[in-house]
Structure 1
Amino acid sequence: MKKWILAAAVSAALMGCAGQQQSETSLPEGVTLVETVSFSGEQVGIPYRKYQLANGLTVILHEDHSDPLVHVDVTYHVGSGRELEGRSGFAHLFEHMMFQGSQNVGDEQHFKMVTESGGTLNGTTNTDRTNYFETVPNNQLEKMLWLESDRMGFFLPALTEEKFEVQRETVKNERAQRIDNRPYGRMGERFNQAFYPQGHPYSWPVIGWPEDLNRADVEDVKHFFQRWYGPNNATLTIGGDFDEMQTLAWVNKYFGEIPAGPAVDAPVKELVTLDETRYLSMEDRVHLPLLRIGMPTVYARHEDEAALDLLSNILGGGKTSLFYKNLVKDGLAVQAGVSHPCQELACQFSMYALANPARGGNLAELEQAMRDSITEFEKRGVTDDDLEKVKVNFEAGTIFGLQSVQGKVASLAFNETFSDNPDMIGFDLARYANVTKEDVMRVFNKYIKDKPMVVMSVVPQGQTQLIAKADNFVPPAEKVASVAVESLDIKPQISSAFDRSIIPAAGATPVLTMPELWKGQLANNIEVIGTQTTETPTVEIVIYLNGGHRLLDVNQAGLAGMTAAMMNESSQKRSSEELTQALEMLGSNVSFSASGYQSQVKISSLTANLDKTMAIVQEKLFEPGFTAADFERVKQQKLQHLQRELTEPNYLASTAFSSLLYGENSPFGVSSGGSLETVSAMTLDDVKAFYKKQYTAGNAQIVAVGSLNEAQMLTKLATLSSWKGAATPLPKLAELPKFEGGKIYIVDKPEAAQSVIKIGKRGLKFDATGEFYKSYLMNYPLGGAFNSRINLNLREDKGYTYGARSYFSGGPELGFYQATASVRSDVTTKALIEFIKEINAFQEAGMTEKELDFMKSSISQSKALDYETPYQKAGLMRNIQRYNLDDNYSTQQTAITNSIGLNELNQLAKEQLNLDDMVILVVGDRAKIEPELSTLGYPIEILQL
């Protein structure tokens, strides 16, 4: 346990002491200080102060002055678990409805105001809570509190039948995109019907059953809001760069007069049980048969949760697990894993495996192999390494999760909502640290061994012979509650003591400070660019190797990714399992990947463990094993992955779009992941040859961010100084095909619930301060922001889609422009008409003065959020390094943004947005969409992929 204790002590260094406790007499009237929590020495946690308003609102403040930004989170203790049977989907529907304006905030203005302030925002819903959050420059805090308070206290006066209907359609589109149109999308909701007893709040999906959404009305929505969205059922958490007493005064002003809602009791926690093993199956538009097994265990923060988490990791937590050894490495499965997700009311010991069709794909055989692995664990027991690696990784994950203010705020809000105590990090670390071998075996015997389970088979359509066992479970008919919520004593709407229609003014614009960068070289001339950040004792390093997919002939497409995958396997000294084990013991991660123009080695480590981590990097980088067994397994996994992707509408659309723009003879016209033909033809010798071409010192550049200064970081990286090899020149690009605009191309996806639309053309290559960047500014109000013309039209006004956008994408040599959305199949033509209308109108008349002001405000102020996390800093430095930019290029961009005029932007729109130069691609059910599309007057061509 020495490493675990050391790691915990190291992590304490990232927490300072909180300031002195505020005097009760200095607090605004009605605000009570509940506790002040600070840390010193070897304690681990996030310093904060917790307050409560007279109406029951809990307020948590965490000051972090490292960046000029604030993160605001309002978490309501309501999710789909508060719904009644037959009335599902309300909590998620409210996530959408609460962005549609309130009494003093106009329609669509929430997104507009936050975006115009330079911020980002979103909301999420799960079974147990709904949260809304914004990250903004610190001068916008008062405005955010005004926005959040208005929808908490003054939402209902702005609720209309029309808004309700549009958002109901948006939710249906979200369901179609995320569930109905996605392989295995309906598996989870079907599985949960069998796993939980009828009427259990987790037995229906968070997004709701379609029939439940259809039967809802505006009055149901009002009652649900009145029941659950009061201040006494909410936690307001603020983190970042702010003045505490000023913030408390604003919180009290905007939230203090909102009356408390009905009393909220904690939901009853009863352990879920199964009386027998339940089998069920489903046919789907998939390539790989999938087996999912689940067993009920406990609930979140139950005393047995931590031991069950460790057990799941031992069984199926990666390359060192029994499932990987027995299912994946043996070739029986393409993927397999075990996890133990926990929710407020129930946890699930969850096991899955994607069968390898090359081995027959029989799920009964797969089920037996999974059961045999469980039996093997019982005989093998728990080792010291099993315990230590899980504990070290849990602690390391905790540290990496504190690299952003948002991460810290999320932790505080979550812990307060579900434990009535924001300070749970130390408790959680301790409960994992204290798990023993005996604890793991005890929970195995109590909850897993010989216990009933749910076994679900998902098979390709028409292949029911592959299911594990005949179904013995049929979901019972749904009972429909007569009301959406139980009867309420509703308090009348309040009149505010001040004029809430006045939008709070922004404070003084924060002073933005670019990270202090340094540039150096290793002894072999590898360029290094870095910066020091001392917020956490961590290091993030990325080794970029120029080349990637661009180095290859199209007949070898996928080889860059295949080689990177092989680099993630064994070395000449150790197996991939042994290397993974070594990294897990350090709480480190080393991963190889490849993309269009480069291969990458991504390294994450606790600072104290960097030397040992870099030794593993050296071993993997300089002494790859490249064994035949690894290659055959990885190749088979790649092939099955490609087969699976061919069932994904978005993959089909991206592949077809690239082929249309660049042609089949260009590396940009074929997928960097390759095709079934190119991957099938690959040999281990191909991998070895590409390794020699790609993984040379001459191709390498390094970006480093961490708690070390320049001299210390260069000393740690000196282990790479022995790396040799010259840079590899890029081959000449094939001639691009003649581009045929003004035509509709269709890729047939039978029975697709949605159509994927892509409209676009070849475009500008990347530049940081020239025409490409200015085109980005030009497109922003058309399709670059949430409240852009395209998204407001197709999503908010028409309800055709869950989201629509347009953008310019550029690389070192080429780029493209694209407008895209996934839309309901029955409105494919109508949605395309709206796309065409919006692009044509913008191209002809350009943006308005108001849109210009919005764009300038949003983009220039958003710079305050650009450099907070290590990987944000790394992205900045990589652009400087890759494109040889000035260190202050971001400041130059801000100057361009603030000075550019309407005439220049609108001239760019005329030049860049001519629809006659663009192709139109639609992936969908041809039989349903082609007849109506043919009425638009465009020639139509059917593409075969």
Structure 2
Amino acid sequence: MKITRLLALSFLVISALSCKEEGGSDTAFAKAENSQFEVPFEKFTLDNGLTVILHQDTSDPVVAVALTAHVGSAREIEGRTGFAHLFEHLLFLESENLGKGGLDAMSARIGGSGANGSTSRDRTNYFQTVPKDALEKMIWAEADKLGFFINTVTDPVLAKEKQVVKNEKRQSVDNRPYGHARYVVGKNLYPEGHPYNWQVIGSLEDLQNATLQDVKDFYNRWYTPNNTTLTIAGDFDIAQTKEWVEKYFGEIPRGEEIPTMEKQPVQVETTKRLYYEDNFARLPQLTMTWPTVPNYDKDSYALDVLSAYLAEGKNAPFNKILIDNKQLTAGVQMYNYGSELAGEFSLSINAYPGKDLDDVLVGVNEAFTKFELEGISQKDLDRIKAGQETQFYNGLSSVLGKGFQLAQYEIFAGDPGYIAEDVKRILAVTKEDVQRVYETYIKGKNYISTSFVPKGQTDLILEDSQLAQVVEEKIVEGAEESFDASIAAEYERTPSSFDRSKEPPYGDTPQINAPTVWEETLSSGLKVYGIENSEVPLVQFQINIRGGLLLEDIKKVGVSNLLADLLMKGTATKTTAQLENEIESLGASIYTYTDKENVYIGGTTLAKNYDKTIALVQEILLEPRWDETEFELLKQSTLSRLEQQQANPNSIAAIEFDKLIYGKNSLLAQNTLGTPASVKSITLEDLKTFYTNNISPTVTKLQVVGAIDEGKATNALAGLNDNWEAREVIIPTPVVPQAPEQSNVYFYDVPDAKQSVLRFGYPAMAETDPNFYPAQMMNYRLGGGGFASQLTQELREGKGYTYGIRSRFSGSTLPGAFSISSGVRSNVTYESTALVKDILKNYGKNFTEDDLDVSKSFLLKSQARAFETIGAKLNMLDDIANLGISPDYVKERQTIVENMTVAEIKKLSAQYLNPDKMIYLVVGDKKTQMDKLEQLGYGTPILLNEKKQTVKD
């Protein structure tokens, strides 16, 4: 997770003042004083240097707790890279007083959001949102990380977690297209010795070489109160919380003083062109990166505007030249990324298949020239700023988001109240500033370019490029060391003034009230569902038009997807650019997409602009532009996306699994994008026919949540209701196959894959099935409960085979699949599969009362978090509208949970978890992994592709 600067409001006025508390401790208060919205906070510092920031928000009975250490990969040393990120993992495993499983085990019991963390170049944070009655437990647990952790780390624990982190690197870097691009840029943009020269994830070699003493030294240096910020945001008593913070954190000793790292912006002495043949790429990619300034530098604000103007929207210079005129790519990504010590401005373009990157560079230079000649208009500058208000509120829609931002300002700007200066600098950006930063950092300046191309296509790289140095891991059987992470550490407990081994009690049980839902059916047949919520002055909405892929001709799959995309490409009276400008000028966003069952249009807007935003939605829906040029561009873009899907083993697995689940001739098995052959055959008339026959209010439901009442929400729909022609649309009910009578193993070959992607399962049931929620409850301890699940505990925590694994029942009004999904180290493909099979076989037999208690505790207590954000409320409405369930479904499910028994779980397991009646799909390296899978006892694996290939028609 990357925490970025929140964009602020044009009308936000901030005041900050200091005062003294009784007792003499320094306290600072800051308050955003606005008639609609406030963000108050209180900051104080313990004697040991721990910075504490409190933000009280009583809108939901939840509290977010975040512990942020001012240490990231920039505080590492070369040869021991990846330590900061390794610690992010280690700190969840155990501590002296929480014991094995640490915070993860407690999280399941208390109904938390799941303890999580993230690491950047400059900080590591640990966070979770919990019901308010668990706050003392969380403060106790976080203090244990900071003062009572390191003794529990043993050589076996370290060995196991090294494997988990290495699996994460394989998944996020080594086994995906362009995964090594950031490594190449970092090594060449930042000189040797610069803290940003290496990647946050580190290198496999450095991780393997880490010793237990290295780990202890790193912890003792950086994980100290005086290098840490504790943020607590939500519904809590301030005085009581201060007492708990002092009790649990106060006696942790202060660490060494940590000097501030000086800013280290870099200069590139000469432009470097590098290339690499990517094992997974199907499209040539050009990336260009210039050094810029650290975050919160005065120039960073104008650089943010520059990147948005150059590459976002139909009228953006890069889109006009590279997408519309030269048709070299489907999209351009550009961003200014500031870190604590330095910054960079990056441009990335995935060209169409076979396009020479030298031609792309010509287009890049033309786009820059266009900007130099025309500059940015005041209207465009105002348009870009208009979206900042909505983005600001979105960032603060949860207590965790508020806590993150306060910590961000504290650590990197030196003041949680920096929002005042942040707002000032955002609003102060002028047209001249945007032109100036372009000339200062981009125009004529040296940069780093990378050409990542498919194997055997070096003719596409930039001229005069040099081969980039990348270390590729080899697949070696039995290469990883063995370990037993269950061995308990022996140590002398860290002394404390009280018994920390005793978990604090729960506080008062929070009162949980499901939101009040209103419903209305308009005369056209359009059904509207809403929840009024004024926590932030936003409205989110979504329109579901039933049909989607279900209504397509199987010979021309992809029509509804192209239609959804084309709806955003202008209206009868507005070009694409004009439509985008109107939306952005409102500070709104509107999206369209399709899936197997629906066409969607939705968005977010300021409540004050809801009427105008809905008017634009009406125009988009009822007055399509049917632009032939835009249609052809979308077809070309879709073909490019199909090509990219075949570069990603996870995408391959998802597509192939659907075919195996539903049967290759079923509409449900089809890729919503279509196939290359079907997309090429689709005409604009096909879209018009689909639109005329199937886009009707009689099969449409709209959900709306936010700072708007029922009357205003429905009044704004009058035009849509009056002008949308109703027609009968018959939704077919496709036949979904039964589970196979016996298991089969299928293999898709991706040569030299560093991981094997696993998809196991069978056709199961619809979400409307009475057994669906009970089966979900049964699945919690199997693979639906994150670190509380057996699959995670055995394959990740016990064996180190994977970074993550999950099981789930998917479904809607139509039957979905039960599935288990993971990416595992390539050389343990069989071992992982066999272990999953064994877990499934014994899960019901071994299910205990303790398992049931944990499942019940989580599912009941987590309801306190169920409706915190606008998005969560919108999802609730989606379930009510489209599954036909009662608005009181929360209470109904609570009854199911309370009445569940171990015997019922065992019965459900026997019914739904038979490993001998499943589909086993593996996407990986055939030459080293496929044959071993015959040992599963399900016959010879069936090869789905004969060789590495591009996507077939």
TM-score bracket for the superposition, by shorter chain length:
over 0.9
In structure 2, what is the Cα distance between the partners aligned to 1:454 and 1:179?
20
1:831 paired residue number: 832
Determine if the alignment matches structure 1 residue 24 to structure 2 residue 21: yes
Which residue of 215, 219, 222 corresponds with 1:225? Answer: 219
What is aligned with 2:309? Answer: 314
Q: Which amino acid counterpart does residue 821 of structure 1 have in structure 2? A: S
Distance (whole Å) between structure 1 residues aligned to residue 534 and residue 10 of structure 2: 16
Distance 1:430-1:10 versus aligned 2 partners, 3 A rule: closer
For residues 911 and 475 of structure 1, the distance between their equivalents in structure 2, rounded to whole angstroms, comes to 53
- Structure 2 residue aligned with 1:919: 919
**1:809 matches 2:802:** no
Q: Residues of 1 paired with 2:653 and 2:907: CA distance? A: 30
Change (3 A) 1:42 1:448: farther
C-alpha contact 1:396 1:606 (8 A) present in aligned 2:
yes
1:663-695 alpha-carbon deviations (Å, 9 max, x no partner): 122121222222222222211111111112332
SS of structure 2 residue aligned to 1:38: strand
Decide which of 233, 236, 243 is 2:230's aligned counterpart. 236
Q: Which amino acid letter does the alignment assign opposite residue 823 of structure 2?
A: S
Instruction: Identify the residue that residue 677 of structure 1 maps to in structure 2.
Output: 677
Contact 1:846–1:905 at 8 Å: present in 2 too? no
Match of 2:486 in 1: none
Report the CA distance between 1:746 and its aligned residue.
0.8
Residue 941 of structure 1 corresponds to 942
The residue that corresponds to 1:144 in the other structure is: 138
3-state SS of paired residue (1:292): strand
1:474 offset after TM fit, Å? Answer: 6.0
Instruction: Output the amino acid matched with 2:226.
Output: N
Answer yes or no: is the 8 Å Cα contact 1:554–1:664 preserved in 2.
Answer: no
**Equivalent in 58, 62, 70 of residue 55 of structure 2:** 62
CA distance in 1 between counterparts of 2:463 and 2:254 reads 52
Shift of 1:596: 1.6
Contact 1:68/1:137 (<8 A) preserved: yes
Partner of 2:86: 93
Per the alignment, do residues 860 and 732 of structure 1 end up closer, same or farther by CA in structure 2, a change over 3 Å counting? closer
Aligned pairs for 1:451-530 (under 5 A) are: 451-472=445-466, 494-530=494-530
Counterparts in 2 of 1:640-789, with a 5 A limit?
640-722=640-722, 723-734=724-735, 736=737, 739=740, 741-767=742-768, 770-786=770-786, 787-789=788-790
Residue aligning to 2:244:
250
* CA 1:622–1:40: 2 relative to 1, 3 Å: same
Amino acid across the alignment from 2:568: N
In 2, Cα distance between the equivalents of 1:474 and 1:900? 58
For 1:76, the equivalent position in structure 2 comes to: 69
Structure 1 residues 261 and 102 mapped into 2: Cα distance closer, same or farther (>3 Å)? same
| C-alpha contact (below 8 Å) 2:37/2:536 kept by paired residues | no
For residue 104 of structure 2, what is the aligned residue in structure 1? 111
2:820 maps to what in 1?
819
Match of 1:300 among 295, 306, 309: 295
1:552 aligned to 2:552? Answer: yes
TM-superposed deviation, 1:419:
1.1
State the secondary structure of the residue aligned to 2:669.
Answer: coil
Aligned residue in 2 for 1:586: 586
Alignment partner, residue 483 of structure 1: none
Partner of 2:344: 348
- CA distance in 2 between counterparts of 1:241 and 1:457 reads 51
Asked if the contact 1:300–1:346 (Cα under 8 Å) also holds between the matched residues in 2, the reply is: yes
Shift of residue 470 of structure 1?
2.2
Contact kept? 1:297, 1:348, Cα under 8 Å: yes
CA contact (8 A) 2:36 2:537 kept: no
Q: Deviations over 1:343-392 (max 9, x none)?
A: 111111111111122xx410011011101111111111221112111211
Residue 623 of structure 1: how far off its partner (Å): 1.0
In structure 2, the partner of 1:535 is 535
Hey, what's the Cα distance between the residues in 1 that align with 2:917 and 2:65?
44
Displacement after TM superposition at 1:180 (Å): 0.4
Tell me whether 873-882 or 712-721 shows the greater mean CA deviation: 712-721
2:10 & 2:205 partners in 1: Cα distance? 53
Alpha-carbon contact 1:93-1:168 (below 8 Å) kept: yes
1:310–1:440 CA contact under 8 A, matched in 2: yes
State the match for 1:561 in structure 2. 561
Which letter does structure 2 place at the counterpart of 1:119?
A: G
Output the amino acid matched with 1:205.
Q
Q: Are the counterparts in 2 of residues 45 and 425 from structure 1 also a CA contact under 8 Å?
A: no
* CA deviation map 1:51-72 (0-9, x unaligned): 1100000100000000000000
- 1:880 is displaced (CA, Å) by 1.2
Deviation per CA, 1:502-525: give whole Å up to 9, x if none: 011111221101111111233423
Give the Cα separation in 2 of the matches to 1:398 and 1:846. Answer: 49
Corresponding position: 1:263 with 2:257? yes
The amino acid of 2:286's aligned partner reads: L
410-419 or 307-316: bigger deviation: 307-316
1:396 matched residue in structure 2? 390
C-alpha distance after superposition, 1:688-736 (max 9, x if no partner): 1111233211121111111111112111222311212224111242574
3-state SS of paired residue (2:930): helix
Distance of 1:529 and 1:738 partners within structure 2: 36
2:901 maps to which residue? 901
Letter of the structure 1 residue corresponding to residue 54 of structure 2: L
1:576 and 1:396 map into 2 onto residues whose CA distance is 22
Code of the residue aligned with 1:105 in structure 2: it is L
Contact kept? 1:102, 1:158, Cα under 8 Å: yes
Structure 2: distance between partners of 1:476 and 1:518: 57
User: By how many angstroms is 1:737 displaced?
Assistant: 7.7
CA 1:277–1:885 in structure 2 vs 1: closer, same or farther (change >3 Å)?
A: same
Deviation, structure 1 residue 553 = 3.2
Q: Taking structure 2 as the reference length, what is the TM-score of the superposition?
A: 0.93
Q: What displacement does 1:444 show?
A: 1.6
Q: 1:202 aligned to 2:196?
A: yes
Say if 1:85 and 1:48 are closer, same or farther in 2 by CA, change over 3 A.
same
Structure-to-structure mapping, 1:375-414, within 5 angstroms? 375-414=369-408
CA distance in 1, matches of 2:762, 2:417: 52
Q: Is the 8 A contact 2:812 2:883 kept in 1?
A: no
Q: Any stretches of 5+ residues in structure 1 without a counterpart? A: 1-6, 478-491
What amino acid is the match of 2:463? K
Contact 2:390-2:538 at 8 Å conserved across structures = no
Q: Give the whole-Å Cα distance in 2 for the aligned partners of 1:675 and 1:269.
A: 50
Aligned equivalent of 1:883: 883
Q: Which residue of 1 aligns with 2:860?
A: 860
Letter in 2 for 1:882: N
1:473 deviates by 7.6
Matches of 1:246 and 1:568, distance apart in 2 = 52
The answer to whether 1:595 aligns with 2:595 is yes
Give 3-state SS (helix, strand or coil) of 1:205's partner: coil
Identity %: 37
CA distance in 2, matches of 1:113, 1:21: 38
Aligned length: 913
Match for 1:837: what amino acid? D
Question: Structure 2 vs 1, CA of residues 821 and 857 (structure 1 numbering), >3 Å: closer, same or farther?
Answer: same
Following the alignment from structure 2 to structure 1, what is the Cα–Cα distance between the partners of residues 205 and 751?
Answer: 24
Unpaired segments ≥5 residues, structure 2: 1-7, 472-491, 946-951
| TM-score computed with the length of structure 1 as normaliser | 0.94
In structure 2, C-alpha distance between the alignment counterparts of 1:943 and 1:475, rounded to whole Å: 34
RMSD: 2.0
Matched to 1:103, the amino acid is E
State yes or no: 1:159 paired with 2:126: no
Match in the other structure for 2:630: 630
Equivalent-residue separation in structure 1 for 2:380 and 2:743 (angstroms): 60
Shift of 1:426: 2.9
**Contact persistence 2:739–2:763 (CA under 8 A):** no
The alpha carbon displacement at 1:81 in A equals: 0.7
Provide the C-alpha distance between the structure 2 equivalents of 1:633 and 1:741, rounded to a whole number of angstroms. 46
Letter in 1 for 2:21: E
1:424, distance to aligned residue in structure 2 (A)? 2.4
